[in-house]
A and B are shown apart, each in its own frame.
Chain A
Amino acid sequence: MNMDRNKDRKKIVGVFFVIAVVIGVFFLFPDLLPAVDDAKAPVHTYLSDYYIENSLEDTGAHNMVTAVLADYRGFDTLFETCVMFLAGVTALMVLSTTAKVTKPERSRKERLQISFGSTVLDIAFRIIVPVIVIYAFYVLVHGELSLGGGFQAGALLAIAYMIDRIIPSFNSSLGNLKEETAAVIAGVGVFIYILTGLLPMAGSGNFLEYGKLPFGADTAEQIRQLHGTGILLIEIGVVVCVMATIINILEVVLERTEFDD
């Protein structure tokens, strides 16, 4: 008991010390950072004007954030997808020697009695899951026109799988993915991304240069549509990888915890 009070007292002293140091530094050096809503700050003057003014003509995407993320800075997004894939594989490797919790075999009658304790949950999730899947595809395809993109769609699909996996009901669920299968699917997602990057090299272009995809394009309008096709193919790769990694980590952690039922 004394130990806890001493530790709490030390934590209060530490919190005040941190706040005092930050306030002190900000009042000693008053001019280090520009004001928040200044339009002439150096953040806005180097490259962002080019991105804002030319993103509609170059790529045909109305959403400037998707144009920057998937077209102008597509190389960064490739390595971010690789990092997600590696995170899934690492979680699988760390817990590979821990034993899985075996669940007892139950007859259909016993499973009918357990369900989650309430009828409302059992019925409501069957209505919600298809709506989420349709919304996820809508968000993926409309990534260039309005807000959306690949990361949001992949996470929404993973949430739909997660709802179906966690609520136990008397039917078997949509089908459980094993953890090794989920890691392989994440690798397929990264492979789709790299394939979209290698295709322009067949049309004598650089890596990830969508204007030279070998689908046949002559006029400027068709080159803009090629950019749109390239962005859509990349987003499909990102969706598959992100969804598979989230499902992978979920299965790895869920198989090794005990539940009361």
Chain B
Amino acid sequence: MIDIIETFLAEKGIYMMTFILMGLGIFGMVSSGNYMKKIMCMNIMQVSIIFFFLALGQKEHGTLPVVVENLLGADAYINPLPHALMLTAIVVSLGTTGVALALLMKIKEIYGSIEEEDITGKRWKK
């Protein structure tokens, strides 16, 4: 029973749940009326994409990519290349959040509220 679940997860399940998370993040960005929630959903979407890259780099029975005493074969370490790219992505996402918050405070000062309905005058159709 556990073997069946494990094979299903390894082949398709984990990718499916990662894409569900990304889809929900994008849907939250589009459908929420509050600008603060849009920023939070943007961060959720970025976490899902980073996990997708890290999940591609796993190997069965592989250890951390740090050489401790002797160099074992190339099959015993997991892939260090996606880790380096994703470190950059996490730090850039922090910078994006900072700039988005500065823009949010400017909108609050000019328009007086951060609901999309008050600013653009349009509502979701009934």
Contact = CB atoms under 8 A, between A and B. Distances in A.
Q: Do chains A and B touch in the complex (CB under 8 A)?
A: yes
Instruction: Specify the main secondary structure of chain A where it touches its partner.
Output: helix
A43 B79 contact: yes
A77 B88 contact: yes
Range class of the B interface residue count: 35 or more
Interface stretch (A144-152, A168-176, A218-226, A228-236): A144-152
B122 interface: no
Interface residues of A, number: 63
A67 B20 CA distance: 34
A249 to B, nearest CB: 4
Nearest to B66: A63
Interface stretch (A14-22, A111-119, A129-137, A159-167): A14-22
Majority-rule SS of B interface residues: helix
A10 B124 contact: yes
Nearest to A152: B87
A43 B20 contact: no
B24 to A, nearest CB: 6
A23 interface: yes
Contacts of A18: 20, 23-24, 27
Given A69-B87, A87-B98, A64 B16 contact: no
Interface of B: 9-12, 14-16, 19-20, 23-24, 27, 31, 33, 55-60, 62, 65-68, 71, 74-75, 77, 79-85, 87-88, 90-92, 94-96, 98-99, 101-103, 105-106, 109, 123-124, 126
Interface of A: 3, 6-7, 10-11, 14-15, 18-19, 21-23, 26, 30, 33, 35-39, 41, 43-44, 47-49, 51-53, 55-56, 62-65, 67-69, 73, 76-77, 80, 83-84, 87-88, 90-91, 94-95, 98, 146-147, 149, 151, 242, 245-246, 249, 252-253, 256-257
